Structure 1
Amino acid sequence: MADVTEQASYSSADEGVATVNATGTITAVGAGETEVIVTFEGKTATVAVSVEEPAPELQSITATPESVTLTEGDTQAIGVEAEYS
Structure 2
Amino acid sequence: MDARANAKAAAIRRTGGKGQKKPSSKTGGAENFAFFSGSSNGFEVSPKAVLVISLLYIGIVVLLHIFGKVSSSATASS
Shorter-chain TM range is under 0.3
Higher strand share goes to which structure?
Answer: 1
Q: TM-score, normalised by structure 2?
A: 0.25
Where relative contact order (Cα < 8 A, 6+ residues apart) is larger, the structure is: 1
> Bigger radius of gyration, 1 or 2?
2
